[in-house]
Amino acid sequence: MSQGYDNEILYHYTDFQALDGILRSAQLRVNNILNMNDAAEMRYFMSGLCEAVIKRLEEEGDTGRGEQVRALFEKELKKEFYYSAYAACFSLYRDDAAQWERYGNRGRGVCIAFRGDYLQKMAQGALSLQTVFYEDDMAAHKLTGVFYRLMKREKDLTKTSPDVEKAMNYAWSCSAAFKHPSFFSEREVRLVVSPFVKEHLEVKPCYHISVERIKKYYPLDLMDMCQKIGIGMEDLIAEIIIGPESTQAKYILQDYLRDNRLRGLAEKVSLSKCPLRRSPK
């Protein structure tokens, strides 16, 4: 699942309020993947994995076992909120119109460019940096073979098996990096936290209270993460791009950075050149 990001810049499209949290508070929030724009997040992979295993069993004429597998996965999918992963999302695309529209406050926000090699070094324990895959057939995925062999070996799938439970945990972890192929154009990379891996997670959850709802998130301490790999915030961030629809003055943002002891970032501010169609006034 993992790959090297030594030569990659990962672009995080967001709004100015989030920018303030990332830069001044040195905090990167990871949010529940199930609340993101793909309505089938996580369960898309699990359902596809289930179908791939069943198909392999049915090709051997083992339809009865296939029905047991379907029942097992249906039961497992009811636990999706327990297995919910949390992520901060990045794109490999710089100054991209679709990214501005979807994630950069419709072009009125900002894009923060992160050094991929440093994010890779920060991803330890329950935190991982994952390339998102866009596939509609899980037949070739290695977990299909793992589950096929487990399903053939286990006599009673209604009982709890340590091996099946371990495989399910790994499958849920993998599911955080799969999306429907219709999202392929995003070229997404995710910094993922899997809270159900409790023994490796030291970050406590927080809650954002708005007028309409309560949202759970995990705050990552960027300053601490930077210190652990021997860099500063100004090393981690390669560029800050003001959105094509933003009314933000470049010099004010530069003053903000200097006044918050981030003078090195002030020289890394640029204006988007994306010709995004202006909204009617």
Pairing of strands 178-179, 133-134: parallel
- What does pLDDT average to over the chain? 89
pLDDT of residue 91: 96
The whole-angstrom separation of Cα 164 and Cα 184 is 31
Beta-carbon contacts of residue 173 (< 8 Å; ≥ 6 apart)? 85, 128, 194, 197
pLDDT tens by residue, 29-76: 999 888 776 657 788 899 999 999 999 999 988 888 899 999 999 998
Could you identify the residue written with the tokens 């051997």?
60
Looking at residue 1, its pLDDT comes to 44
- CA separation (Å) from 261 to 46, 213, 234, 258, 267? 46, 34, 10, 5, 13
Per-residue pLDDT at 2 exceeds 80: no
Above pLDDT 70, what percent of the chain?
94
Instruction: Output the CA torsion sign for 112, 114, 120, 124.
Output: negative
Residues of the chain above pLDDT 90, percent: 60
What's the rounded mean pLDDT across residues 222-249?
96
Count other C-beta atoms under 10 Å from residue 21's C-beta: 16
Q: What digits encode the pLDDT tens for the residues 70-87?
A: 999 999 888 887 888 899
Name the pTM for this structure. Answer: 0.86
Average pLDDT over residues 115-129: 90
Is residue 279 predicted with pLDDT exceeding 70?
A: no
Give the residue-averaged pLDDT of 243-272: 97
pLDDT at 199 over 70: no
pLDDT recorded at residue 39: 58
Over 80: is that where the pLDDT of 281 sits? no
